[in-house]
Structure 1
Amino acid sequence: MTQKNREALFDLLSLSIYADAHISLTEERLLESAFIAEGWDSEYPKSLFLEESFARAREAADSDDAMFDYINERAQVFTTKAAQKEVLGVVKNILKSDGETPEENEFYSLLVQALPKPTK
């Protein structure tokens, strides 16, 4: 996964926990694990990026249109089948960790629809 992919994934994960307006401890732990597992390859501090990512997610979660635009924008960087499979798997794991809600299923569906046609 490229650094650009990681950043978009982290933004999507940050937003995903707002999908059902309930942030569980399980989601927080899985989110933290995902952030660790995906690594970081940038001189920009990961902790600062994550802080800003959560701020962007809170802002995007204010309206359905803003959330859709944010998902669509971030999804565009996942251009290969492998990257799409990975992002969908990680997001799905977080969403189902504390039981899926209709809002979380809608979030996942929006993400699937927003992904571009894969190049490989």
Structure 2
Amino acid sequence: MRGRAAKEDPKAPVAGYVATRTAATKLDLPLAETPQAITVITADQIREQGARTMQEILRYAPGVNADVYGLDNRGDWFLLRGGSQGSTLLDGLRRPLSGWYGIVRDEPFAFERVRLASPT
């Protein structure tokens, strides 16, 4: 397992369902050695689930309430561990949230991985 963890690029696509590294922290550590809870949902899992929205991707993730307000065609609403929305990042940059009218729904067919980190 250690040999595979050392070879995986934390920003590259993952083959299969299990990621061993992620760029969710500033340190390049294996997920097993990070001091916080991090969940990685890979592109293969997103494709197998047939997810069309972020809510559908997060529905089976531990510590996430993916259907906070039920079905909503305007945007994706979810609560992470601890009951906060947190920040949504796309390619490492924080997405702006400008009220209820500034929500843009993401298209998961282009995602390589979705990372969920517990709030610090």
| TM-score where L is the length of structure 1 | 0.27
Richer in strand (by share): 2
- The structure with higher relative contact order (CA 8 Å, sep 6+) is 1
Bigger Rg, structure 1 or 2: 2
Where is the helix percentage greater, Structure 1 or Structure 2? 1
